Structure 1
Amino acid sequence: MQKLILSLLSAWLLLIQLPSASAQQNEFYVASGDNGIYRLTINGQKNRLAKPQKVADVNHVGFLTQHPTKAILYAVANHNEAVVMGFTKHKNGQLSMLNSQAINDGQTAGTHLAVHPSGKWLTTVQYRTGSVSVFPLAADGQIKPRSQLIHHQAVKQQGSKKTKPARPHWVGYSPDGRFVFIPDLGQDQIVIYQVTEQGQLQAHGFSQVKKGSGPRHMKFSKDGNFVYLLNELAMTVSVFAYDAQQGTLTAIQDDQATIDEADWRTASRHSASEIRVHANGQLIYTANRGHDSISIFKVSDNGQIKRIANESVRGAEPRNFALDNTGQWLVSAGLASNSLSLFTVDPVSGLLQFQRGQVQAVPKPLCVLFWR
């Protein structure tokens, strides 16, 4: 009897440590291009997607992120000028403007952004101008004026006098905040910077990928030991081992295709858009435009991956998608179909189950951000 009680107690302790599908965790925000920012929720008991509610009027809003400890949402936008914006998130989910700062690199809006784990700095990348910007953050989360601007250099094309412009597409800090990683689609590199004590970026190195792959977005594994890079043009995932002490990447697996070769003939244009890691760390998901699907990969103990399935997004041109913090739901954003589609996730098999009738209309959805 004592052993049975101990076993039940252990199981209960494990259960309460797992992420729960609380109301807050079911809440997410969608950047809607020229139409502002929308808020939606998922009814966890019924797997229902609530109707979208507009919570911010912003012109040309792009990617979203959030402060690591404060109730603040950040966005890149072209709101009269190219800016990075901060919004206070209230308990009812509404947003109010905190402040904004000009990126000051022409009229090109920021493409992606990330906040340092300490909450002290925010970094943006600008695809069109090939630049990286750093903004200090105040103690209350307000954005201070830009403190650094770096331009990536154009790459000379082999056997030609022409140069290929730099195209930084994503930015993210390492889990410990010591390094910044920027996949550059133009350079076919992951450019690496070291973060100084003042939050400034110093050139540290790069990791080269196959010519013409078009690196777009990347994610760290849950244990921080591996990096998964999504190549937009080749529609592949590259896997790297990460040395956290040295801040270096080593390729450990050849590029893994996100769709079958035969599927390339099903649309006139194909490109990969987003990559996400499941909460359990054992599954990787990517989105495919043209094929209009989500690719599902299993992760082995050595960090390598194997594609096991593709699931239709029930929409057109999935520009972005996101998994909730518990790993129970996936929301896909169809840019061309002006729609959001809801799927449940099997945490063991990784397979997705489309929730029929749970599609909501949002104009030009560009980014999906689940609130922590």
Structure 2
Amino acid sequence: MKEWNEQLFYTGTYAPRHERGIYVCALRVENGDLRIIGGVEGIERPSFLALHPDGTKLYAASETEEGELYAYQVHAQTGELHPLDRKGTEGAHTCYVSVTADGRYVLASNYSGGNAVVFPVTEAGGLGEMSGQVQHTGSGIRQDRQDAAHPHSIIPDPSGQYAMVCDLGLDQIVVYRLTEDGKLVTHREADLPPGSGPRHLVFHPSRPYAFVANELNNTVAVFSYNERNGELQLLQSLSTLPEGIIDVENTSADIRITPCGRYLYVSNRGHNSIVLYHVDLDSGKLETVEWVETSGSTPRNFNILSGYLVVANQDGNNIVSFAIHSEDGRLTRTGYVLEVPSPVCIEPVRQS
């Protein structure tokens, strides 16, 4: 049961189907303490989660060879999940799910399948028949990781007109026009340096910028974004690692920006850190500020909720909270750690 001073959130994991896969958790807003409230079984490897804009439905990607999406009804008071629907994604290893701002469509990307798909949301909150699908082909310079196309995320833009697919295998962000009837129409591409491996993208909350975490070359890229034309232009690229780090195998993972738009964070798996950048609101360019250890191994995902940054350490089997300083965005450990098997996604519950 949620208490008045707690922020609920969901945690996706790499659990097998017979074990609890999605956890309902709570963060105590006063001090960053964490606890488990409940959760659900019956979904295999729910590695990415997305809440519907109205807060009443949750969608989960099942990252398996037979990729699937699951839909759940959210209990308004407790955050408890009740299964609504499930659909195959016609692609292997569904690794990302998102929902358009108007709540009409659920988007997903299939890492090994090389495709991205669209499902309309039914009146009951379930998944209608697939309305759109696009297949990527090609490869990059890294034969160990870029032997084929690997769409790692699909993110609707703030206007709802376009969807951005970060393809790790192609070193491209492919921009699609999302039509009224839920189809993806190729619009343009934004190229990144060979071997970059774009993974996740986040838009600035109020300015015309987008930021991309590049998994393979451990960089963060800054783009200007023309919303009318759906056009990304590269402005800057910075390392996600401290200067001189050469003996650590690392891959950048998640990227988030604070609601004020002044602080951007990226996670490093291997270096096991969160890097903080200050955002210049006039130019969109970044200034590197600090690295903070995540108190666990392989910070695959994290999120920002109620003034805290909450990290899912996949191989550390824990979730850790950090207080965000409002004046400079720096992180301070709260000292609270929650033990959860293979946590890989943090998704806040909309508070009623």
Question: Does TM-score exceed 0.5, indicating one fold?
Answer: yes
Q: Distance in 2 between matches of 1:83 and 1:359?
A: 31
What is the aligned partner in structure 1 of residue 334 from structure 2?
Answer: 355
Alignment RMSD (CA, Å)? 2.0
Q: Does 1:239 align with 2:211?
A: no
Q: Give 1:224 shift.
A: 4.5
Question: Of the candidates 54, 64, 89, which is equivalent to residue 39 of structure 2?
Answer: 54
What is the aligned partner in structure 2 of residue 11 from structure 1?
Answer: none
Q: Give 1:283 shift.
A: 0.3
- Counterparts of 1:82-121 in structure 2, within 5 Å, are 82-90=67-75, 91-105=77-91, 108-121=92-105
Q: Does 1:149 align with 2:128?
A: no
Question: Of the candidates 285, 291, 300, which is equivalent to residue 304 of structure 1?
Answer: 285
TM norm structure 1: 0.87
Q: Give 1:136 shift.
A: 1.2
What's the secondary structure of 2:152's corresponding residue? coil
CA displacement, residues 82-137 of structure 1 (integer Å, 9 cap, x when unaligned):
210100010211100011111123xx231101111121111111010111111111
Q: Give 1:295 shift.
A: 0.2
Q: Distance in 2 between matches of 1:23 and 1:130?
A: 44
Task: Rate the CA distance shift 1:187–1:23 in 2: closer, same or farther, 3 A.
Answer: farther
Unpaired segments ≥5 residues, structure 2: none
C-alpha contact 1:275 1:284 (8 A) present in aligned 2: yes
Q: Distance in 2 between matches of 1:157 and 1:346?
A: 40
What is the aligned partner in structure 1 of residue 116 from structure 2?
Answer: 132
Q: Give 1:32 shift.
A: 1.4
What is the aligned partner in structure 1 of residue 272 from structure 2?
Answer: 292
Q: Give 1:24 shift.
A: 8.3
Q: Aligned AA for 2:346? A: V
Q: Percent identity?
A: 29
Q: Give 1:330 shift.
A: 0.8
Q: Give 1:25 shift.
A: 7.1
Q: Aligned AA for 2:260? A: N
Q: Distance in 2 between matches of 1:295 and 1:181?
A: 24
CA displacement, residues 17-51 of structure 1 (integer Å, 9 cap, x when unaligned):
xxxxx958711110011141001111122331123
Q: Does 1:369 align with 2:351?
A: no
Q: Give 1:293 shift.
A: 0.4
Q: Distance in 2 between matches of 1:83 and 1:235?
A: 29
Q: Give 1:56 shift.
A: 4.0
What is the aligned partner in structure 2 of residue 212 from structure 1?
Answer: 195
Task: Rate the CA distance shift 1:135–1:317 in 2: closer, same or farther, 3 A.
Answer: same
Q: Aligned AA for 1:256? A: L
What's the secondary structure of 2:244's corresponding residue? helix
- Counterparts of 1:1-372 in structure 2, within 5 Å, are 23=4, 26-34=7-15, 35-51=20-36, 53-77=38-62, 81-90=66-75, 91-105=77-91, 108-155=92-139, 164-253=147-236, 255-265=237-247, 267=248, 269-301=249-281, 302-324=283-305, 326=306, 328-356=307-335, 358-372=336-350
C-alpha contact 1:181 1:192 (8 A) present in aligned 2: yes
What's the secondary structure of 2:153's corresponding residue? coil
Q: Aligned AA for 1:93? A: G
C-alpha contact 2:73 2:125 (8 A) present in aligned 1: no
Q: Aligned AA for 1:68? A: P
Q: Distance in 1 between matches of 2:183 and 2:219?
A: 32
Q: Aligned AA for 1:51? A: I
Q: Aligned AA for 1:72? A: K
C-alpha contact 1:114 1:173 (8 A) present in aligned 2: yes
Q: Give 1:52 shift.
A: 5.3
C-alpha contact 1:24 1:371 (8 A) present in aligned 2: no
The structure richer in strand per residue is: 2
C-alpha contact 1:219 1:227 (8 A) present in aligned 2: yes
Q: Aligned AA for 1:359? A: V
What's the secondary structure of 1:50's corresponding residue? strand
What's the secondary structure of 1:112's corresponding residue? strand
What's the secondary structure of 2:245's corresponding residue? helix
How many equivalent pairs are there?
Answer: 340
Q: Give 1:156 shift.
A: 7.0
Q: Give 1:260 shift.
A: 1.6
Q: Give 1:185 shift.
A: 0.7
What's the secondary structure of 1:26's corresponding residue? strand
Q: Distance in 2 between matches of 1:262 and 1:350?
A: 24
Q: Aligned AA for 1:197? A: E
Structure of higher CA gyration radius: 1
TM norm structure 2: 0.92
Q: Distance in 1 between matches of 2:347 and 2:100?
A: 17
